[in-house]
Structure 1
Amino acid sequence: MIIAGEYSGIEHVIVDGVVQSIKLIPEEIKRCVARFAFQYAKDNGQRSVIAAPENSTLH
Structure 2
Amino acid sequence: MKLNLIDGDCYYNHALIYQDKWNKVEAIKHFEKAANLYQQQGNQALYQNSLNQIKNLKNN
- TM interval, shorter chain, is 0.3 to 0.5
Larger radius of gyration, structure 1 or 2? 1
More relative contact order in 1 or in 2 (CA 8 Å, sep 6+)?
Answer: 2
More strand by share: 1
More helix by share: 2
* TM-score normalised by length of structure 1: 0.40
* TM-score normalised by length of structure 2: 0.40
